[in-house]
């Protein structure tokens, strides 16, 4: 009898503990739900700029801003609101990074050729430009003009201030999870790689943060009833304005690749760095080494070329833009040439795009997508056909 009472008491205590745990979980869930709702400060900030706008629920938050689902005169929109004191925190972060870069250059003097301080300064400007949403709104309007007759678009901007951005609002991440049709994935891959090349060689204005979360994919019906994907690029705070001199040298380099001329390709890259004052006395072997690297990056080359850089063909085929940039930096450092900060930023942006392309299931190099914009001259096409480089038409024409 005593044992039964003790067991009952123990059971009752366990039930009370379980009920207490359930209440704690419910309270935690309630806190999470409340935290997902707009704050009074955010709601007031939006109403002050756009009285007809309403915040619904938070969609996500980053180091710069919170993004809400909302409405504007009943129309669904996305609303970005800047975090408080974000500029001060960024300044502190970059002070630490500058100290770390200076210490690294002191311990490893060869790192000075990578121009870490200059690269940090450029990155700082990109990050600080995101703090003012009027800058992002300006970028979005410029991209809208550039994409006017293309398969890509950007959200329409309805209102913008320094702290708030209201714009139109399935990301590529969701598309990757839900869409298994290889034909549609190939279409998205082709469109994305083509738009990246167009932004560089035609518009000279590149979205510098095209990871899967910043690429929306929507499906539209074509004229014959087929499903046609449409790309929307968002979060355009980080954009890269490419100097005409850089684009000109890149075009010369790509024409060298088109003609299977490693020396022409490499010389264009050397001339680019000389023009920026980053290469004073280039070694005679530098253009050829950079040219071989460039040819391997752009095309599928024969063993005599790729074996100069890679141990096995598998290593060569699997190499992507970051690997080539690492090798280029190593060559530049060996020849005491400072790497161009603008070229650094461009290749970093290409690496992000290539990562998105890779997620679609196609092993490709975004540099190949540039070729259609360089093949307008029939002489170039003929030279390319006679050059003997192993490259399929799908690689050349990105189809």
What pLDDT does residue 391 have? 39
Range name among 181-190, 326-335, 366-375 with the lowest pLDDT average:
366-375
In the chain, domain spans: 86-129, 242-397
pLDDT of 207-255, one tens digit each?
A: 988 888 788 887 777 676 677 888 889 888 888 899 888 888 888 888 8
- As a whole number of angstroms, the distance between CA 215 and CA 154 comes to 9
Q: How crowded is residue 83: how many other Cβ atoms within 10 Å of its Cβ?
A: 15
Does the predicted TM-score (pTM) go above 0.85? no
- The pLDDT mean for the chain works out to 79
pLDDT of 101-144, one tens digit each?
A: 899 888 888 888 777 888 788 888 878 887 889 999 999 999 99
pLDDT of 253-312, one tens digit each?
A: 888 887 888 999 999 999 999 988 888 888 899 999 999 998 888 777 888 888 999 999
Instruction: Find where tokens 């929109």 sit.
Output: 77
In Å, how far are 43, 99, 192 from 117, measured between CA atoms? 40, 9, 32
> What are the residues whose beta carbons fall under 8 Å from the beta carbon of 191, sequence distance 6 or more?
151, 152, 229, 231
pLDDT of 38-50, one tens digit each?
A: 888 888 889 888 8
Q: Which of 314, 272, 321 shows the shortest CA–CA distance to 298?
A: 321
pLDDT of 165-193, one tens digit each?
A: 998 865 666 666 776 778 888 888 888 88
- 65 - beta bridge partners? 82
CA 124 to chain centre: 17
- As a whole number of angstroms, the distance between CA 252 and CA 14 comes to 77
Pairing of strands 65-72, 53-61: antiparallel
């Amino acid at each position: 009898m005593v044992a039964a009472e003790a067991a009952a008491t123990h059971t009752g205590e366990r039930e009370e503990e379980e009920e207490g745990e359930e209440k704690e979980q419910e309270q935690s869930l309630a806190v999470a739900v409340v935290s997902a709702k707009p704050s009074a400060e955010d709601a007031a900030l939006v109403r002050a700029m756009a009285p007809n706008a309403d915040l619904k629920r938070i969609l996500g938050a980053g180091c710069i801003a919170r993004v809400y689902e909302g409405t504007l005169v009943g129309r669904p929109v996305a609303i970005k609101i800047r975090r408080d004191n974000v500029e001060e925190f960024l300044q502190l972060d970059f002070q630490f990074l500058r100290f770390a870069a200076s210490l690294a250059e002191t311990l490893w003097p060869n790192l000075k050729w990578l121009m870490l301080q200059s690269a940090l300064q450029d990155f700082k400007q990109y990050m600080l430009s995101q703090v003012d949403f009027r800058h992002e709104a300006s970028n979005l309007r410029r991209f809208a003009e550039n994409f006017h007759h293309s398969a890509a678009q950007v959200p329409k901007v309805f209102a913008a201030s320094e702290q708030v951005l209201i714009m139109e609002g399935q990301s590529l991440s969701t598309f990757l999870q839900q869409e298994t049709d290889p034909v549609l994935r190939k279409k998205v891959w082709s469109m994305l790689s083509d738009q990246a090349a167009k932004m560089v060689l035609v518009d000279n204005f590149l979205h510098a943060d095209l990871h899967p979360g910043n690429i929306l994919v929507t499906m539209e019906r074509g004229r014959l009833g087929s499903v046609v994907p449409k790309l929307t690029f968002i979060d355009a705070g980080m954009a890269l304005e490419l100097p005409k001199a850089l684009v000109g040298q890149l075009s010369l380099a790509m024409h060298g690749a088109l003609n299977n001329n490693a020396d022409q390709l490499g010389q264009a890259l050397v001339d680019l760095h000389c023009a920026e004052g980053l290469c004073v006395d280039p070694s005679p072997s530098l253009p050829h080494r950079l040219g071989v690297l460039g040819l391997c990056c752009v095309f599928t080359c024969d063993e005599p070329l790729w074996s100069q850089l890679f141990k096995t063909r598998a290593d060569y085929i699997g190499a992507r833009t970051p690997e080539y940039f690492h090798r280029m930096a190593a060559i530049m450092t060996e020849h005491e040439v400072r790497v161009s900060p603008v070229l650094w930023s461009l290749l970093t942006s290409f690496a992000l795009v290539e990562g998105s392309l890779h997620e679609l299931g196609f092993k490709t190099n975004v540099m190949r997508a540039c070729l259609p914009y360089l093949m307008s001259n029939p002489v170039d096409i003929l030279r390319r056909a006679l050059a003997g480089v192993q490259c399929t038409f799908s690689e050349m024409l990105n189809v």
